[in-house]
């Protein structure tokens, strides 16, 4: 178990004064099976009117309006979270395909997480990769098949920043065989769903240094990984080829990135805007 403090600051700088902005932030983790949130706050500057709610997928959302003229908007989320080490292997207690299909049919979320979106729709070659994994040596083991698909996607793609954007689709990223964690997660989800395995996009943070000392602060990053359903939900980080462990802090999940965008909104003004982001993580235990 590790205790991690995450400070995530993001916002917009405008080319000229804007009269108002209307925004939503999904930056605060929630207590769940693998993590305990000890403290979490979100600060907005300039000070605004706001309210919090939990969205359809269970993610904490801060909705806020800044109705005074401003040239910069800054949101800072600070969280202290205890996270557990990686859980049991992905193939433990795996149901057969018939049993899995019956379970999926009875679960509203599983049915929804089986449908492709515009960001996850897989090209034919990716569907073929998933089909080959489902028809391989572990063909009767749905959990092992899901794990094999996610590993194959991660091994086939190269982490490369600056070559994709937030609207890049799984098909485009797969064709390029590269992108950031968001793209690799979308590709893996598209492949898993094409094989009949419900899969969801998870947003959070990754501590980049496995052997960080207590008290050490490092530059962290927003991160994305996947979870698939094979009797229960299981997480995996295809970008790094690792199980979800005590370096991952979960914020929320959805069908794809658009359901858990950390910050989004609109503003009133003629100037352009520039997004800025910084993340720092301190191991405190």
| Residue 236: per-residue pLDDT | 97
Please give the backbone phi and psi of residue 145, each rounded to the nearest 5 degrees, phi first: -65, -45
Non-local CB neighbours of 40 within 8 Å, separated by 6+ positions = 28, 29, 60, 77, 78, 79, 80, 81
Asked whether the predicted pLDDT for residue 151 surpasses 90, the reply is yes
CA-based nearest residue to 170, from 121, 223, 241, 240: 121
Average pLDDT on 101-128 reads: 97
CA-based nearest residue to 173, from 275, 257, 260, 262: 257
Q: How far apart are CA 49 and CA 198, in angstroms?
A: 38
| Residue 273: per-residue pLDDT | 93
Asked whether the predicted pLDDT for residue 88 surpasses 80, the reply is no
| Residue 93: per-residue pLDDT | 62
Place of tokens 């658009």: 258
Helix (H, G, I), strand (E, B) or coil at 174: helix
| Domains assigned to the chain | 2-84+261-283 (2.60.40.2250), 97-259 (3.10.620.30)
Residues making up the chain, counted from first to last:
285
Give the tens place of pLDDT for each residue, 211-237. 999 999 999 889 999 999 999 999 999
| Residue 270: per-residue pLDDT | 87
Average pLDDT on 86-110 reads: 81
- Contact between 249 and 6 under an 8 Å Cβ cutoff? The reply is yes
Q: How far apart are CA 180 and CA 89, in angstroms?
A: 26
How many other C-beta atoms are found inside a 10 Å radius of the C-beta of residue 221? 16
Query: Which helix (H) or strand (E) is 144 found in, with range?
Result: helix 142-156
Where are any strands of DSSP class E within 19-123?
20-25, 35-45, 49-54, 60-66, 70-83
Confidence band for 152, pLDDT divided at 50, 70 and 90:
very high
Q: How far apart are CA 226 and CA 151, in angstroms?
A: 11
């Amino acid at each position: 178990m590790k205790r991690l403090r995450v400070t995530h600051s993001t916002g917009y700088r405008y080319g000229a004064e804007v009269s108002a902005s209307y925004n939503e932030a999904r930056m605060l983790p929630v207590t769940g099976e693998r993590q305990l949130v000890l403290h979490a706050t979100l600060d907005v500057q300039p000070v605004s009117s706001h309210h919090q709610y939990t969205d359809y997928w269970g993610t904490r959302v801060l909705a806020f309006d800044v109705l005074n003229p401003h040239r910069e908007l800054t949101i800072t989320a600070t969280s202290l979270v205890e996270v557990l080490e990686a859980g049991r292997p992905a193939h433990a207690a795996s149901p057969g395909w018939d049993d899995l299909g019956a379970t999926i049919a009875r679960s509203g979320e599983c049915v929804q997480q089986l449908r492709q979106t515009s960001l996850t729709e897989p090209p034919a070659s990716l569907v073929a990769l998933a089909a080959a994994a489902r028809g391989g040596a572990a063909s009767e083991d749905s959990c092992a098949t899901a794990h094999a698909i996610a590993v194959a996607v991660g091994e086939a793609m190269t982490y490369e920043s600056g070559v994709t954007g937030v609207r890049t689709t799984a098909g485009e990223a797969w064709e390029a065989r590269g992108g950031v964690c968001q793209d690799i997660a979308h590709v893996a989800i598209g492949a898993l769903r094409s094989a009949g395995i419900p899969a969801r996009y998870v947003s959070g943070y990754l501590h980049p240094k496995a052997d960080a000392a207590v008290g050490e602060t490092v530059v962290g990053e927003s991160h994305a990984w996947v979870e698939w359903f094979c009797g229960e939900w299981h997480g995996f980080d295809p970008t790094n080829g690792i199980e979800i462990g005590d370096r991952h802090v979960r914020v929320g999940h959805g069908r794809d990135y658009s359901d858990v965008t950390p910050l989004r909104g609109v503003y009133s003004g003629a100037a352009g805007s520039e997004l800025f982001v910084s993340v720092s993580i301190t191991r405190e235990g």
